[in-house]
Homo-oligomer: A and B are copies of this chain.
């Protein structure tokens, strides 16, 4: 079925029909590559909505508001700001999130409960509501506004991350659009960073929710930049049915195709986040096979992708594979040393728990490329998972030593 999904170059969240977006520079963000900092994404009709949120116990007021509202299963608009996380500011964080969504609702003439909000940036300072009150009315919504919206969510990202896909459902051409931001404070075990997905397919909230979870589990939840988990992580999807295709029903070929496309969009955006991680020069993929359980495979792959020492070795193009074994061992996944096989870029390093003589110079050379693939076979079962990590660089440290000062 893969050939049915077409990638639309230059597309984004407003590629699906019935979605409009726009952004302005309100003055909140005083750093980063792009100065847009206040964005709005709107469906011209009611849409099914689903979301996944950070599991951090300290949460942004924006996350608290959106998490509560998403339980309704429908939404019309998402307002986002970068530069300020609206987090660790007490009850004011909730108040400001409510006021911001109320302003949007009034402008659009829709119920306040239909407006979701996301914030990203510095923790511990209040949203500059004066700037937001002034900036919001200046946003012009358009069918091309998805690109401006994608730029308005960036913090230390060096480029926007966007995707659009098209595929047929019930004789109609439907679309999925998406954008995301990442850069730092990114670690598995939650919905990482901000990502927004739109679709003009018709799909009821419960099915949309289940499909989003499945897509997020193999994409955003399997990437790591720095082992730290944000207080603001959010993935949202809106489905407005504007393509006119019949509603997607569970356990049908259409549901399967939609799941495939949604997962493809999430995988692309998740990997874009890793590729554009703070200071990153190289991405690595970790596949763990032969695990006893899926939970073990996921845990092992994510622990290896998150290891500081593995990341540093990848940065140096250094075939220091003992660190992969160290990370595997500390992961908590069930392993039997004598059954482990390890491959880096297809070169067998270890088999049956014993190192194989390999051409060190050839491996080191292949590790200097932009992507490194680590494959571990545990020899205990059939479960398999893949995770992605960025390397740890001097530039990451420099960037994060002086973020607020």
Contact = CB atoms under 8 A, between A and B. Distances in A.
Interface string A356-368: 0000000010000
B354 A307 contact: no
B56 A330 contact: yes
A347 interface: no
Given A58-B325, A124-B355, A318 B228 contact: no
A315 B401 contact: yes
Nearest to A306: B227
B318 A405 contact: yes
Interface residues of A, number: 68
A58 B124 CA distance: 41
Contacts of A354: 89-90, 92
A337 interface: yes
A259 interface: no
A396 interface: yes
A319 interface: yes
A322 B315 CA distance: 28
A32 to B, nearest CB: 16
B326 A228 contact: yes
Interface in A363-405: 364, 392-394, 396-398, 400-405
A88 B125 CA distance: 49
A12 interface: no
Contact of A316 (B313, B330, B402): B402
Contact of A400 (B228, B309, B322, B355): B309
Interface string A96-128: 000000000000000000000000001111000
A327 interface: yes
A315 B124 contact: no
A108 to B, nearest CB: 31
A85 interface: yes
A184 interface: yes
B394 A329 contact: no
A291 interface: no
A226 to B, nearest CB: 4
Contact of A58 (B92, B332, B337): B337
A302 B59 CA distance: 20
A347 to B, nearest CB: 14
Nearest to A56: B329
B322 A122 contact: yes
24 contacts: A57-B333, A57-B334, A57-B337, A88-B350, A89-B354, A90-B353, A122-B320, A123-B322, A123-B326, A124-B322, A184-B309, A185-B309, A185-B326, A226-B308, A227-B227, A231-B322, A231-B325, A231-B326, A308-B400, A315-B401, A319-B404, A320-B403, A364-B405, A396-B397
Top 7 A-B residue pairs of the complex, sorted by shortest distance between their CB atoms = A123-B322, A316-B401, A58-B329, A312-B400, A90-B354, A56-B329, A394-B394
